[in-house]
Structure 1
Amino acid sequence: MTQESGELDSLVRKRIRALRVAQGWSLEELARRANLSQSSLSRIENGQRRLALDQLVTLARALDTTLDQLVENAADDVVTSPTIDAAHGRMRWPVKGDPGMSVVRQRMTEPPPENPARMRAHPGREWLVVLSGTAILMLGHRRFRIETNQAAEFPTMMPHAIGAEGGPCEILGIFDRDARRGHQNEGPDRDAQDTLE
């Protein structure tokens, strides 16, 4: 085994354990979901059992991730470029994405829609920190002004939208798994005004 493959092997084992712990699952719970014995899973996590492809596929599925994400080399995506949504005055930089959460930096120039019918609602929670400028967070009919260095946290089942006030603003948005999935499942014909991804 080369040093590089040994490092990847160790990384995959740590990811399995970290994803299990992030879900709040015991060894027994993940073993049940992956149709493995608890002792087998324990040996996989602590390096006493060889990683088999069929078990990795089963574990990835049980952990609600993909085999590619489970075995990807972390050094592959060090530099990211922004995506530009000129129609909505947005520029986005994905900062972090993993099965448990996503972090996205975003620059906005347009105000949010104030009509709840144009806002999104989906399971999950979102957090945001304003890096510069002033952001407006619409939660249903309520309007919150968030200044530089202020933060907000909200359940995404409430219709919501985020935009800028009085000029450009930059925010750092953090999504839990359900919130990220909710934004990914929205169709392209929906107004993307509040999408932070």
Structure 2
Amino acid sequence: MDRQTDDEVLDAVGPRLRALRRDRGITLAGLAATTGVSESTLSRLESGQRRPSLELLLPLARTYDVPLDDLVGAPRTGDPRIHLKPIRRFGMTFVPLSRRPGGVHAFKMIIPARPEPLEPTPQTHEGSEWLYVLNGRLRLVTGERDLTLPPGEAAEFDTSLPHWLGSADGGAVELLILFGLQGLRAHVHTDPHRPGQARPDQGRPDQG
């Protein structure tokens, strides 16, 4: 890249960091407590008054759980492959298929087999979700609907309605699922110490 392009990349970091923090529902004070970077420095970084440095961006990348390149927004070079790192929550496995900060995130979701299907424990959060069943029989409870989806079927629903995902017959289920940021926090990045989010002891495996 030439010098002008470098400057454009750096100038875009602050607004990107602000948008990402607000999308995640994190305050400057909360971010400062998590990263160890002062609230005033974070504010200047987001407003463009402070140029980003590796020392500032590394703790932010760890907090937001995104690659450093995505946080900066620099053009990608080198290996284009996505290195999959499974995430295990509530007895389920989420395999990330995308790596962009903000927006919609794609995951392969695996619900393990169980001797007996679990009873639904519906939850709510802002946003919407889209899913496609790859293998197994998915039980989807959303609002007053109780549906069974075989392989090849897809569904999209408003997550402000009580909803739950699980196995319809106790067998393993594999599906592709798209989360907005609210759904991503509720399913994948749940922090038991943050107010307003479900604690692991409030949920049960296979809950959606």
What TM-score, normalized to structure 2? 0.58
- Describe the SS at the equivalent of 1:60: helix
Cα separation, 2, equivalents of 1:127 and 1:52? 32
Distance 1:70 1:125, change over 3 A: same
2:155 is equivalent to residue 129 of structure 1: no
Q: Is the 8 A contact 1:123 1:182 kept in 2?
A: no
Distance 1:70 1:195, change over 3 A: farther
Could you say what the CA RMSD is over the residues aligned between the two structures, in angstroms? 3.2
- Describe the SS at the equivalent of 1:96: coil
Q: Which of 187, 191, 194 is residue 203 of structure 2 equivalent to?
A: 191
Distance 1:112 1:154, change over 3 A: farther
Aligned amino acid, residue 152 of structure 2: N
- Describe the SS at the equivalent of 1:50: helix
Cα separation, 2, equivalents of 1:186 and 1:164? 21
Cα separation, 2, equivalents of 1:96 and 1:52? 21
Aligned pairs, how many? 147
- Describe the SS at the equivalent of 2:84: coil
CA deviation after TM superposition for structure 1 residue 122, in Å: 0.6
User: Which stretch shows the higher mean deviation, 105-114 or 172-181?
Assistant: 105-114
Cα separation, 2, equivalents of 1:177 and 1:83? 16
Matched residue, 1:159 = 162
Aligned amino acid, residue 93 of structure 1: V
1:101-140 CA distances to partner (integer Å, 9 max, x unpaired)? 11111121254533xxx32101000000000111000113
Q: Which of 14, 17, 39 is residue 61 of structure 1 equivalent to?
A: 17
Aligned amino acid, residue 96 of structure 1: S
- Higher helix share goes to which structure? 1
What's the % identity of the aligned pairs?
A: 24
Cα separation, 1, equivalents of 2:72 and 2:144? 44
Cα separation, 2, equivalents of 1:52 and 1:151? 38
Q: Is the 8 A contact 2:123 2:164 kept in 1?
A: yes
Q: How does 1:13-162 map to 2 (within 5 A)?
A: 47=5, 50-51=7-8, 53=10, 55-64=11-20, 68=68, 69-71=70-72, 75=79, 78-84=82-88, 88=91, 90-98=92-100, 99-108=102-111, 109-110=113-114, 111=117, 113-114=119-120, 118-162=121-165
Gaps of 5+ in 2: 22-59, 62-67, 190-196
CA deviation after TM superposition for structure 1 residue 170, in Å: 0.5
Q: Is the 8 A contact 2:95 2:108 kept in 1?
A: yes
- Describe the SS at the equivalent of 1:178: helix
Q: Is the 8 A contact 1:102 1:175 kept in 2?
A: yes
User: Which stretch shows the higher mean deviation, 61-70 or 131-140?
Assistant: 61-70
Cα separation, 2, equivalents of 1:52 and 1:170? 39
- Describe the SS at the equivalent of 2:151: coil
1:162-192 CA distances to partner (integer Å, 9 max, x unpaired)? 0112211111110122322343343333315
Q: Is the 8 A contact 1:120 1:194 kept in 2?
A: no
Gaps of 5+ in 1: 1-5, 10-43
Q: Which of 171, 176, 199 is residue 172 of structure 1 equivalent to?
A: 176
Matched residue, 1:28 = none
